[in-house]
Amino acid sequence: MFGDDSFTSIEDLFSQLSGGRRHPSQGTRAQTQSLLNTIESKKETILIFDISGKKIISVEIKDDIETNEYGERVHNGQKILAIKFENNETLKYNIPKTLAKRKIDHTFSNGILEVSLKK
Architecture of domain 27-118: Sandwich (2.60)
Domain regions of the chain by residue span: 27-118
pLDDT by residue (tens digit) across 16-53?
Answer: 555 554 444 444 545 555 889 999 999 999 999 998 88
- Does residue 108 register a pLDDT over 90? yes
Which residues are CB-neighbours of 38 under 8 A, at least 6 positions away?
Answer: 45, 46, 47, 48
Of the candidates 62, 43, 39, the residue with the CA atom closest to the CA atom of residue 112: 39
- Whether the predicted model's global pTM rises above the 0.75 cut: no
Q: How confident is the model at residue 119 (pLDDT cuts 50, 70, 90)?
A: confident
